[in-house]
Amino acid sequence: MKLSHLLTSAVSLLSLGLEVEGFSRSRNDAVGPKRPFKPLPHSHPRKKVCHVRSHGDGTDDSDFILSALNHCNHGGKVVFAADKEYTVGTALDLTFLKHIDLEILGRIQFTNDTDYWQANSFKHTFQNATTFFQLGGEDVNVYGGGTLDGNGQIWYDLFAEDALILRPILFGVIGLHGGTIGPLKLRYSPQWYQLVANSSDVLFDGIDISGYSSSENEAKNTDGWDTYRSKNIVIQNSVINNGDDCVSFKPNSTDILVQNLYCNGSHGISVGSLGQYPGEVDIVKNVLVYNISMYNASDMARIKVWPGVASAMSEDLQGGGGLGAVSNITYEDMYIENVDWAIEITQCYGQKNLTLCNQYPSNLTISDIHISNMYGTTSGARDPNVGTIVCSSPDVCSDIYVDDIDVVSPIGTNDFVCTNVDESLLQVNCTSG
């Protein structure tokens, strides 16, 4: 890996404005970066440079981009100039890249042709996910601090009319093995900001995410990252202002490190949802979430698993009955402010009838969970409770350890809802079970 990329880790917090009060502070101030589960590979030398042309008038620049990528593949750097804007109106399959850098200094915006993108964006198997492009291959670095703009407003308004439309994900990392992403600015994604699928050994460092709706229609499902069938992924030193999960570990995510994040307006850092599809086996294991500041969110530490019976979360999200396991998950050193649930663990995701959930417990087990050193205040939305740990059966939910939780509600309470869980392992005030 290039020295410049390593230095980014040290300076990106300041460059992204992370001097927000409360960010990356534990009570003992003993905060330092954790190492990846496995060493990340080094990049090969880059020996040539290609500059991407732009029409500059909103005309599709995809041909210029592909030309530069093909010319500088296998050992070069492709530069998107700081004084240019680039328009992408074609779904680009970039999974052929190898030993190449993309230095994005300017702005790349995707067109607002919703009919084209629904028909031509890349379709992925999980939760009807689609992407504007798919970047993959081997030893690919994308950096420069420039902007990718998903032109999301038209999608937010369209989704309000039809919840079944296919909204593209802004940045698709699909089948990438070895590489770094960041620093970059990601703006106005129609749906998730980043999907990391079938990938390994990838570092995300210095990502600045933001983009809200300017109309009455919310920007929904705007997860910062979703990892899927991927391993040894590092996500760090980033700012996320969004309206859904800050980071979500989807099925078969293993050896994942997430650290030094500022998350605002999110649904927390989440394992899941899992067990959505009957007959499929979902595994999430070896995950470390460390040194997080969470503001104005529904959750901080969250594990969400579908029950063993068909359930409907919403018109476009149903499931239940899948198999698998969640294990060796650690959340450590977290600051929260105005968060509904400090901790939310549920095996009844999507099922509001808890009697039915307990009658058909989850087929997916949860075990070896460690949550420690969290402090701050909740929003009061769940008063007098600040956390909930609800398993559908103790037979499929074990070894959950929670300690050193200094979280209170605005009225001064710190109660937890605890159901079908070994309360002797929870150093919290369980008031129901």
**CATH number of the domain to which 382 belongs:** 2.160.20.10
Same domain, 220 and 245: yes
- Per-residue pLDDT for 85 more than 90? yes
The dihedral region occupied by 368, where left means phi > 0, alpha psi between -120 and 50, and beta the remainder, is: left
Q: Does some domain include residue 4?
A: no
d(CA 418, CA 387): 9
* pLDDT above 80 for 79: yes
Residue the block writes with tokens 């933001």: 210
Is the domain of 118 the same as that of 66?
yes
Mean pLDDT of the 334-345 span: 98
Query: What is the per-residue pLDDT for 14?
Result: 36
Into how many domains does the chain fold? 2
Choose among 264, 341, 240: nearest CA to 16.
240
Residue 223 CA, chain-centre distance (Å), reads 5
Together in a domain, 121 and 144: yes
Residue 53 lies in a domain: yes
Task: Please check whether residues 360 and 215 belong to one and the same domain.
Answer: no
How much is the pTM?
0.92
pLDDT of residue 7: 33
Residue 140 lies in a domain: yes
Nearest to 253 by CA among 219, 300, 303, 206: 303
- Domain annotation covers residue 383: yes
What CA–CA distance (Å, rounded) separates 285 from 277?
A: 19
User: For residues 174 and 198, is the Cβ–Cβ distance under 8 A?
Assistant: yes
Domain boundary residue among 227, 242, 266?
266
Task: List Cβ neighbours of 198 (8 Å cut-off, separation of 6 or more).
Answer: 136, 174, 175, 228, 229, 230
Whether residues 214 and 291 fall in one domain: no
Same domain, 117 and 192: yes
Same domain assignment for residues 117 and 210:
yes
Confidence bin at 1 (pLDDT 50/70/90)? very low
Distance CA 134, CA 237 (A): 24
Q: Is residue 10 part of a domain?
A: no
- Indicate which residues carry an active-site annotation: 267
Residue 241 CA from chain centroid, whole number: 12
- Sign of the alpha-carbon torsion through 118, 122, 125, 126: negative
Tell me the residue range of the domain where 310 lies.
279-433
**What's the average model confidence in pLDDT over 323-337?**
97
pLDDT of 17 strictly over 70? no
In terms of domains, do 169 and 140 share one? yes
Residues 259 and 283 occupy one common structural domain? no
**Residues 289, 252 share a domain:** no
Tokens of 404: 């050193």
Residue 350: what pLDDT? 82
